[in-house]
Structure 1
Amino acid sequence: MKRHTLISRAAWLLFAQTVSLQALAAAPGAPLTGTVTDTQGHALENATVSLQDANGHTLAQTHTGHDGTFAVPGVQPGTYAVTVDAKGFGASTSIATVDTGAPPSLKVALEPGSTMDVNVQAQRLNTARNGLQPDIGASVYHFSQADIQNLPQGASTPVNQVLLQAPGVANDSYGQVHVRGDHADLQYRINGIVIPEPISGFGQSLDTRIIDQVNLITGALPAQYGYRTAGIVDITTKSGDTGNGGSIDVYGGSHQTLQTSADVYGSQGPLSYFFTGSLGVNNLGIEAPTSDPNPLHDHTRQGNAFGYVSYLINPLTRISVMAGTAANQFELPNTPGLQPQYTFNGQTSFNSANLNETQSELNNFAVLALQGTNGGALDYQVALFTRYTRTQFNPDEIGDLMFNGVASNDFRSNQAEGIQTDTTFRLNDAHTLRAGFMAQQEHAVFNDSVAVFPADANGNQTSDIPMTINDSGSKTGYLYSAYLQDEWKLTPKLTLNYGLRYDGMNEYVSASQLSPRVGLVYQPTNATTLHAGYARYFTPPDFQLVSAGTITRFNGTTNQSEVTADSPVQPERDHYFDIGITQRLTPSLTVGLDAYYKIASNLLDLGQFGTALIYTPFNYQYGHVYGVELTGNYKQGNVSAYLNFAFSRAQGKNVTSAQFNFDAAELAYISDNWVFLDHDQRVTMSMGGAYDFGQNTFTADAMVGSGLRSGFANTDKLPWYGQLNLAVIHHFNEPVIGKFDARVVLINAFNSVYELRDGSGIGVQAPQYGPQRAIYAGVTKLF
């Protein structure tokens, strides 16, 4: 389908549907009438008019007369698709809702052409899908494809760094982000469907290039959101609904970085598609453990692929398939000059610069979804999903034994599959009902081969000959949930969204909870929006990270735990309160203020307690998190800018599970004192902007943080830090070559040297420094 034909036809049909094709009303058995013309208003004779139900079945068919009029007799109350087709013109489909009133005449204008137009139908279904997930009472931050392109690195910006441009998102090492004082706890949705989280690792599991729009939803969430509730990363993917095209991108520079990517999209009849893939290598795969800008042994190879295909079964129903994969290989960077702590087979020296630890990660997912609407009261989506993820850590056996007294070859995998349904029913003008359920099964496997030295009761090495202890197991677990809620328009300016959600789990522990949710939105003027909400949350621990290994297996070795208690990890239960206001000060400037407070029981946190980057969940008996966020956005002509400020405080008390990961002194202190969570950052700021000047775009973004926690029981914190990134983009349109963009990027323009982690604190084993100054360049060719 030609792009200009598709877009122009879509624009006309959207206009016609909005202005001319209003909801119809007809008495039972009365004729449905209308007129068919071309875009100049000339009557079209012998055009075929078909009436279809929500299942795509043709109920009646007629033809227009010489004056372009038609009548379909005996139409019963209901919602129908009216398809009009004429030789030499593109087909048009509109939605007619028939009840017992007097019917106005349907007016249809056909665009010249002969290709079936699917854009309007796809857009109608996209709107219906978005309506399944309201954000009444929550805080929502939007990033469009254009916003992402205006970041210094554009589509080469990792997803975690895109999210850092939202308020209340704190940066951490290994690509982690923390929203509103929670450790990760993010739920990723693609086109409204939950994608189960992978095993934690160094690489990103999703590529920014798939994104058409991404929303970060936080606060007091409506009832359809559960399990992971610190933030909902809601991604709408690119598709082929808007025409045919594609791009090729090459990006590289410092640290021997080279990344290539390509995508293609389009549609043919009722079928549309989007495919993308990327491959990349560089020598800064993981944050450096020292202030050296070129860390030793830090090479990475990363690849991503994603595909989305949808097929319109009829104007009101479509089926779609999407699948993605991320395969990443990492070297763990080395710190030179370390002194061995143990003797291996008579060997007492080892150059720490020559350690060879590696980690490989794989994440695959696939979704099959059926989505539809009757064009009036009912929207629905039913999806089957599956995800497989695995992580393999390979130690340097001799080196790890000599420096750590343990060399653990760690394997983790998790297979998840499930079903998710969401429905929306518009009861009347005042009430919109939403309901749905989800069920998920997971099977987790862990297999660790651990080399250790024999040791006495005080942990002192008693032999320099290591022994190997195998620690493995598997477990199947289940999650299930259901929700029901009502969006009630109390007045034209006041909306109440209230509902109930039930969550249950049967994993290492069995638990459930019935959770009320309520949100209120008040718009006293078009420029002012106030919202407030309360949510009860139920958050299971990451099933794939909880292992059932036996701690006592390592008694009498250099891997023996000082504390042997290992109580099971429990789900977190919260009371969450949120209130905020958004004010449009001028047509160009909007500001917002939001405050939140969370009271937690069995507060969940994650810690890295071993040499592998595999996090272990644990509970604090008590927890509270609170904060405030201030946002500002400006857009006027060729200038856009944003500024976010967030204050947060996150604390816990008394570790009640997985206690063996702590030493006795720290555990005792936490039992009697409130401590800061290791991802607590008191102040977080992000800002940026873009300026278009002729064929050039100048862009910048920056982040500032007061530092994450460190020291004994997180009683200390790291210094303030900041990073500024700059870029210039030139938009070319040359003969023969056509359109393409070239950009030059300067990362950390002021070469600020700062630590994200210093290797101390709860569950943090190694220092990690932020990136130092680097220069990259890229070229993107559009087709």
Structure 2
Amino acid sequence: MAAPQHHNAPSVPQKPQRHVAAGGSARRARRTAAAPTTPGSAEQTQAEAVAGQNARLDQARGNLLAADGANSYQMSRQLLESLPQGTNATLDKALLQAPGVSQDSAASGELHVRNEHANLQYRINGVMLPDGVGAFGQIIDTGIVGSMALITGALPAQYGLRTAGVLDIQTKADAFNNSGSIGVYGGSHGTFTTSVDYGGTIGQTQYYVSGRYFGSDVGIENPTPAYNAIHDRTDQEKGFAYVSTAIDPTSRLTYIGGVSNGNYQIPNNPGQPPAFTAFGISNFDSALLNERQQEFNQFNVVAYQKSADGLDYQIAYFNRYSQLHFTPDPVGDLVFNGVASDVYRQSTINGIQEDTSYKLGFAHTLKFGFSVSAERSLVNNGSTVLPLDDAGNPVDAPLSLFDSSTNTGYMFSSYIADEWKITNQLTLNAGLRFDQMWQYVDANQLSPRISLTWKPSDGTTFHAGYARNFTPPEQVLAAPTNLALVQNTTAQPAVTANDPVLPERSHVFDVGVTQKVYAIPGLEVGMDAYYKIATDLLDDGQFGAAYVLTAFNYAKGINEGVELTATYNHDNLHLYGNVAVARQVATNVVSNQYLFDPDELAYIANNYVYTDHAQALTASVGGWYQWHNTKFSASLIYGSGLRDGFANTGTVPPYTQVNVGVSHDFNIVAPNKPTTVRFDIVNLFDSVYQIRDGSGIGVFAPQYGPRHGFYAGITQKF
């Protein structure tokens, strides 16, 4: 199915749910990945053999990590290319078309899955990417994605740590036919991007490289409703490399690497009243502030995979380096906020992940594995503040303070599970997972997982599951703050409690069904309901001018919701629609209490409040129509509004954003090397809406959705 597919993930080893190619089938991967230049040549035969072997290993890897009994919403390469803006759009914008995914500002993490803050796991070809330190950097370029699945619900035992959802990305499988593409794209708001990629096959080795530059005058959401933002330029570069070598007919060695570098101006909100006098200045124009942020990320994965005689396994070494530096306006921030903080965060993670699957006859498949990692983190905060006199009034005598926290933390996880095919229609998956963290806090948990998948007839799939989850905080977000440094200064908090950030522990229940509607060929519908009870619910917020997040815990949390999905595919018409109704509430802040005002902290201690990222109703609708070499596409997102006001008791107004696009392939160079020209309109009706209004828990400034923009581009395959 070319449009997004909403599957429960039954464990059928010979038919994995994971897509290994753009259209979702291993057979198509074998057709497209081996397209040669000379039909019938030895080069063609060799390339086809290598492509076929890699397709089989892709399928085995899909079986190895199949999300048995969970929700799996598939998004093919064709879908990503068919959305307005195509692969020029960032990955988070494409994910807004999945069920239960709501939009947020860059400062708050771009998006939320099932109303969770962060807690989203990214995997590339089965290997989990460790957390970075960035607030809004997008390390993965949409152009490298062959297919991806958003896995939610009661996850099987092989998935842990980040459990709100797993974004399982499979790299392009049809990119190794000694060809490539180059493209340019741009338009409104000073937007310009250029990209190039190339892939080929040499002997037993497949390779693919890509690079992209992106620049725009709206790098972060505008804090005002104006069409043009003030001081909001961004320049970003990304690179990606993939190399896979067949060692023998049953094994391969793969390298995956990526790098991203982004520089951002922090947008200004004019007309803000100064609150302090610093360096003799008491009247500062907020439109002239000069705050900046730089983010750098790099990851590397080396994986060995073996598949033979019912035994499949993959062992991978992974590494990630991440760096963030927020530079304040040294005078302006002090005048408006009473503190100007220069924030630097750095993290280096190295680890090993191993996954094994072994078939014990027809009925049972045993799965087990482990991961171990070490992280070295550094968090520096150099602040300029004003001292307070005996009466508590600020004195214009700025002084500098420096707070630093370094830590080497470790994570260990292991799991074992049995996939029991009770009948041809009924599969039970049961497992145990153990997680141990040694960070600022040491903790562990043994987590049972169990799910049932029932397929009473072709086209009907039921699933139900339970998962006990253990979610550690990101180490850099949990770094302690030395409050003694800021006593008797304008950075002194009203609350002095500063308990350490704890891991979250939760119970998740999930049940769902998908059904093909045979009365309407091409139509598939689905429903999924979930309920989560959490202890020490993790949350993050921006509690100052720096665009960085700080973690804290609620003592108790409840997250519940229902998602409805539908896809329709008939000839050249592809449509999809998703609606999610959700609710997340929590009570009693039990860590980093100093981040809150006393009145708000007291209210939350005695009441369940909505989390700031809780949205009651989220929807997405879209599709495309292919007419000869021309493709027409449209997408829509709707949100009932995120929370705002004192203790999140209010809601910003609802919004709708519509995007449209058209593309056409010209056969100028050669029939199989099209020249693609596209034109897109973002926010067709120029709907002016707020994502945030500057109030609410952990919300520092207002942010507006994108104003309408007109974009055009051309891509040439070679």
TM-score, normalisation: structure 2: 0.93
Q: Is this contact kept in 1: 2:359–2:365, CA < 8 A?
A: yes
**1:196 pairs with 125, 130, 135, which one?**
130
- Structure 2 distance, partners of 1:476, 1:417, is 11
Q: Do residues 775 (structure 1) and 710 (structure 2) align?
A: yes
Q: Deviations over 1:693-742 (max 9, x none)?
A: 12211100010000000000001111110100000111111256951111
Q: Do residues 448 (structure 1) and 398 (structure 2) align?
A: no
- Structure 2 distance, partners of 1:591, 1:210, is 29
Partner of 2:687: 752
- Structure 2 distance, partners of 1:370, 1:350, is 58
Q: Deviations over 1:396-449 (max 9, x none)?
A: 000000011100010000010100000010011000111000001111101111
Q: Do residues 272 (structure 1) and 206 (structure 2) align?
A: yes
Which ranges of structure 2 fall in alignment gaps of 5 or more residues?
1-25, 32-39
1:376-775 pair list within 5 angstroms: 376-456=309-389, 459-461=392-394, 463-586=395-518, 587-734=521-668, 738-775=673-710
Partner of 2:7: none
Q: Deviations over 1:233-261 (max 9, x none)?
A: 00001256752211111010001111000
Q: Do residues 166 (structure 1) and 98 (structure 2) align?
A: yes
Q: Is this contact kept in 1: 2:175–2:208, CA < 8 A?
A: no
Distance 1:772 1:321, change over 3 A: same
Deviation at 1:203, TM superposition (A): 2.3
Deviation at 1:610, TM superposition (A): 1.4
Deviation at 1:128, TM superposition (A): 1.0
- Structure 1 distance, partners of 2:548, 2:303, is 32
> Which secondary structure does the structure 2 equivalent of 1:545 belong to?
coil
**Number of aligned positions between the proteins:** 680
* Deviating more after overlay: 157-166 vs 643-652: 157-166
List structure 1 segments (4+ residues) > 3 angstroms apart after TM superposition: 10-15, 88-91, 112-116, 239-242, 456-459, 735-738
- Structure 2 distance, partners of 1:179, 1:629, is 12
Distance 1:264 1:322, change over 3 A: same
Distance 1:315 1:457, change over 3 A: farther
Q: Is this contact kept in 1: 2:318–2:351, CA < 8 A?
A: yes
Q: Is this contact kept in 2: 1:122–1:241, CA < 8 A?
A: no
- Structure 1 distance, partners of 2:328, 2:668, is 52
- Structure 2 distance, partners of 1:133, 1:748, is 38
Deviation at 1:782, TM superposition (A): 1.1
Partner of 1:296: 230
> Which secondary structure does the structure 2 equivalent of 1:348 belong to?
coil
Distance 1:335 1:495, change over 3 A: same
- Structure 1 distance, partners of 2:28, 2:675, is 29
Distance 1:353 1:525, change over 3 A: same
Distance 1:160 1:736, change over 3 A: closer
Q: Is this contact kept in 1: 2:134–2:323, CA < 8 A?
A: no
Q: Do residues 314 (structure 1) and 242 (structure 2) align?
A: no
Partner of 1:7: none
- Structure 2 distance, partners of 1:146, 1:239, is 13
The structure whose Rg is larger is 1
Partner of 1:52: none
> Which secondary structure does the structure 1 equivalent of 2:49 belong to?
coil
Distance 1:281 1:589, change over 3 A: same
Partner of 1:40: none
- Structure 2 distance, partners of 1:252, 1:220, is 41
> Which secondary structure does the structure 2 equivalent of 1:543 belong to?
coil
Distance 1:691 1:372, change over 3 A: same
Q: Is this contact kept in 1: 2:29–2:173, CA < 8 A?
A: no
> Which secondary structure does the structure 1 equivalent of 2:632 belong to?
strand
Q: Is this contact kept in 2: 1:723–1:749, CA < 8 A?
A: yes
Q: Deviations over 1:140-164 (max 9, x none)?
A: 1111111100000101111111111
- Structure 2 distance, partners of 1:315, 1:733, is 38
**1:251 pairs with 185, 205, 221, which one?**
185
- Structure 2 distance, partners of 1:441, 1:239, is 32
Q: Is this contact kept in 1: 2:158–2:433, CA < 8 A?
A: yes
Deviation at 1:660, TM superposition (A): 0.6
Letter in 1 for 2:244: S
Letter in 2 for 1:489: K
- Structure 1 distance, partners of 2:120, 2:489, is 37
- Structure 2 distance, partners of 1:366, 1:113, is 31
Q: Is this contact kept in 1: 2:513–2:526, CA < 8 A?
A: yes
- Structure 2 distance, partners of 1:278, 1:520, is 43
Deviation at 1:202, TM superposition (A): 2.3
Deviation at 1:520, TM superposition (A): 0.6
- Structure 2 distance, partners of 1:120, 1:347, is 70
Deviation at 1:339, TM superposition (A): 1.8
Distance 1:642 1:13, change over 3 A: closer
Partner of 2:36: none
Q: Do residues 226 (structure 1) and 160 (structure 2) align?
A: yes
Letter in 1 for 2:95: L
Q: Is this contact kept in 1: 2:176–2:208, CA < 8 A?
A: no
> Which secondary structure does the structure 2 equivalent of 1:125 belong to?
helix
TM-score, normalisation: structure 1: 0.85
Q: Do residues 214 (structure 1) and 145 (structure 2) align?
A: no
**1:332 pairs with 250, 260, 266, which one?**
266
Deviation at 1:456, TM superposition (A): 4.2
Distance 1:336 1:114, change over 3 A: closer
Distance 1:647 1:113, change over 3 A: closer
Q: Is this contact kept in 1: 2:124–2:169, CA < 8 A?
A: yes
- Structure 2 distance, partners of 1:435, 1:197, is 23
Letter in 2 for 1:665: D
> Which secondary structure does the structure 2 equivalent of 1:121 belong to?
helix
Q: Is this contact kept in 2: 1:522–1:529, CA < 8 A?
A: yes
Q: Is this contact kept in 1: 2:290–2:328, CA < 8 A?
A: yes
Distance 1:208 1:504, change over 3 A: same
- Structure 2 distance, partners of 1:13, 1:388, is 32
1:137-156 pair list within 5 angstroms: 137-156=69-88
**RCO (CA 8 Å, sep 6+): is it higher in 1 or 2?**
2
> Which secondary structure does the structure 2 equivalent of 1:470 belong to?
strand
Distance 1:275 1:411, change over 3 A: same
Letter in 1 for 2:84: P
* Deviating more after overlay: 734-743 vs 130-139: 734-743
> Which secondary structure does the structure 2 equivalent of 1:146 belong to?
helix
Q: Deviations over 1:609-637 (max 9, x none)?
A: 11111111111101100000000000000
